[in-house]
Structure 1
């Protein structure tokens, strides 16, 4: 679980160091701007911005029951972040599997991509799709009830 937080913590520490340098140099406004910028980067690359991940087996079971796609992702992936942000509120209608915290999910992705852990990998009706567009993923969602 600690691996998931490495990049966000690195962003926060880097921001603190840069901000401290500017603050000690007599530029508190620039220090605050950099601190906020690095904090936003940390949040964007943290698991906080994604819906709560579920184990791969549970996600596949739920996806088969309700027809919703299963998204395999990992923190720090810019393509995953792009997908998540472009989906907006529809992202909560998907089943998200963090491959860094779920070895079974990582195995599903490796099987779908020929041995790589290329994410986002979206599984719809037992067919994997690697790095699909957000519009395509949205089109795969079942109609709202």
Structure 2
């Protein structure tokens, strides 16, 4: 659990410390801006930036295996936009079976994002390709 939140919490803590120094220097405006920026980055690095895992293994939606703090996972999530809800998001740090699945697809390492569509694994696919695969017109 702590591992999933480590980067987000450290980023937020750094923001608080830097803002405190700025307030001490008499710059409350820049302190507020820096704190807001660090908190936003902390949110993006946290599991909260991704849709919650829902549905069971019988779900026929494509599966995206990800982990918190992964910039490629964040890029995929951002580029999918509202279409991100059309896939199942599985955090490999929270689900050991998912991590084993990713290692099986990638040849032993935990490279994410790994997407499984129709039983085939795709490592770090182009977001536009995935969007085309999950769009309603392609079904």
TM-score interval, normalised by the smaller of the two chains: over 0.9
SS of residue paired to 2:130: helix
Q: CA RMSD in A?
A: 1.5
Q: What does residue 82 of structure 2 align with? A: 89
Q: Secondary structure in 2 aligned to 1:14? A: helix
With the length of structure 1 as denominator, give the TM-score of the two structures: 0.90
State the alpha-carbon separation in 2 of the partners of residues 42 and 141 from structure 1: 29
Q: TM-score, normalised by structure 2?
A: 0.94
Whole-angstrom distance in 1 between the partners of 2:54 and 2:98: 10
Task: State the partner residue of 1:137.
Answer: 130
Residue of structure 2 equivalent to 1:15: 15
- Distance across 2 between alignment mates of 1:2 and 1:62: 28
| Equivalent in the alignment of 1:123 | 116
SS at match of 1:35: helix
> 97, 106, 109: which is aligned to 2:99?
106
* Structure 1 counterpart of 2:5: 5
| Residue matched to 2:59 | 62
Aligned length: 138
Unaligned runs of 5+ in 1: none
| TM-superposition CA deviations, 1:32-70 (whole Å, max 9, x none) | 111000000011111111110248xx2x4202xxxx210
